[in-house]
Amino acid sequence: MMNARFALGASVRVVRNVRDDGTYPGAQRGELLVRRGSIGYVRDVGSFLQDQIIYSVDFPVVGRIVGCREQELIDARDPWVESRFEARDRVTPNRTLAIGGQVVVEPGQPGEVLYVLRDPTRGPLYHVRFPGRTLQVPEHALTALSDAAEPVS
């Protein structure tokens, strides 16, 4: 079996919102089960498709035990940087983005957050996919994009 990063009883923090994928009893598909930043305790460790470690994590504040992939967890003692956006959120820059003085993305152009970097000194940074390119963008340069906007390609 693969080596688990967290032991039974370890205190962990979930780094993204966990929603029901249709497997949580009594919840509706898409329903928020645990909010990002919540702390829980590892109750069991298993695997999925022989290549992913899955932890059963007890989140006592919300009264739920939820399955989490290893990449969704950090040690609860690690610094936590709250973020406004998370993976799959649709955003647009609130200012012109340029590389080497050349404008590459204008305000209003749609983008999708691919990954959140939680830097304790610089704050949250995001890998955002804009049409034709992916950029690392600081949180202060982004605004939420309404669902009515065109899809990102």
Residue by residue, DSSP assigns 42-84 as EEEEEEETTTEEEEEEEETTTTEEEEEEGGGEEETTS-----S
Query: Is the confidence at residue 148, as pLDDT, over 80?
Result: no
Residue 14's CB is within 10 A of a number of other CB atoms, namely 23
Query: Is the confidence at residue 41, as pLDDT, over 50?
Result: yes
Q: Which residues of 130-144 are buried (b: 16+ CB within 10 A; e: fewer)?
A: beeeebebebebbee
Q: For the full predicted model, state whether its pTM sits above 0.95.
A: no
Residue among 38, 132, 131, 134 at smallest CA distance from 87: 134
Q: For the chain, what is the mean pLDDT?
A: 87
**H-helix or E-strand spanning residue 144:** strand 142-144
Structure tokens at 97: 């983005």
**Alpha-helical runs (H) found in the chain:** none
pLDDT class of 2 with cuts at 50, 70, 90: low
pLDDT above 70 covers what percent of the chain? 94
Q: What is the mean pLDDT of residues 109-135?
A: 91
Q: How far apart are CA 2 and CA 8, in angstroms?
A: 15
Query: Is the confidence at residue 147, as pLDDT, over 50?
Result: no
Query: Is the confidence at residue 81, as pLDDT, over 90?
Result: no
Measured in residues, the chain has a length of: 153
Residue 10's CB is within 10 A of a number of other CB atoms, namely 19
Q: What is the mean pLDDT of residues 51-55?
A: 85
